[in-house]
Amino acid sequence: MLAEFDPASAVRTQTFLKVPFACLDVPGAAQAIAGRAPGAPFSYVVTSNASHLVRLNEHDDPRFVAALAAAGLHTLDGSVPHWLARNLFGLDIPLCPGSDLTTYLFEHVIGPDDAVTVIGGSEEMKRRLVERYGIRTLNLHVPPMGFIDDPAAVEAAIRFVEEHPARYVFLVAGAPRSEYLAHMIRARGRAVGTGLCVGSALNFLTGLVQRASPAFRRLGLEWLYRLIQSPGTHIERVFVDSLPIFRIAAKAKRDPAAYGMKRSGADPA
């Protein structure tokens, strides 16, 4: 699917725990996204972190498997999977977090005349984005809680994307809901633009949620900062949703082929 973002198929990928990650850093991924023609058929980016990899490899979630398989571009998000890929398997996959990619796109790529659609978030988020970046066309749809299990609410979200054509579609309804929705939008084949499943990135960008300091991020401890700041919402995310990645990586080390990886760690383009 990488050809959707790079028609020349020049971007190298390396498979880590069943995901074909693009060997792109933040500017490189932003360039690949910006290189898609305006009005191109809808495709989407998944910025997979530890919880994505755990869900993919350990949960019985065929919808999530299908959503990741259909993504046009995968980038590696998270210091722990990045460390495991490099030190346990010798994979040179650049770190490209969704929050950093989103910031780069708004500050260096998205212009005032680029249409943007956001699924999730809030009116205050929209106000701050418009005020800060001068975006003339920013359409927001906020689905109700639990929308992903309500066919009518899902249909409303899909139709909103179809009826508000945009070059950039930010899906910030949380994982795995954003990935499920992106897959359904793409499967229907009526929408245009590039979807970005980027979690809390717009909350951080607009200052609605305080992000960890650069020092925490450089040390790979952003997860710890979030845990300290919001233990009630992050204990399960860290210890239940993400921690099993170490067990998965250990299994993959014993049997790399079962996880789509070569024993040497090399994965040609």
Six token digits for residue 183: 């897959």
Question: 266 lies in a domain?
Answer: no
* Chain-centre distance for alpha carbon 22: 12
Question: 5 lies in a domain?
Answer: no
| Structural domains of the chain, count | 1
Question: 137 lies in a domain?
Answer: yes
Which burial class, exposed, middle or buried, applies to 258 when counting CB atoms under 10 A from its CB (0-12, 13-18, 19+)?
exposed
Q: pTM of the prediction?
A: 0.88
How many Å is the maximal CA-CA distance in the chain?
53
Question: 166 lies in a domain?
Answer: yes
| The length of the chain, given as a count of residues | 269
Could you list the pLDDT tens digit for every one of the 269 residues in the chain?
Answer: 455 665 445 688 999 999 999 999 999 999 999 999 989 999 999 999 999 999 999 999 999 999 999 999 999 998 999 999 999 999 999 999 999 999 999 999 999 999 999 999 999 999 999 999 999 999 999 999 999 999 999 999 999 999 999 999 999 999 999 999 999 999 999 999 999 999 889 999 999 876 655 665 665 656 555 655 666 565 555 445 678 999 999 999 999 999 999 764 444 44
Domain span holding position 225: 14-259
DSSP H or E segment with residue 162: helix 151-163
Question: 3 lies in a domain?
Answer: no
Six token digits for residue 151: 């066919």
Contact call for residues 77 and 100 (beta carbons, < 8 A): no
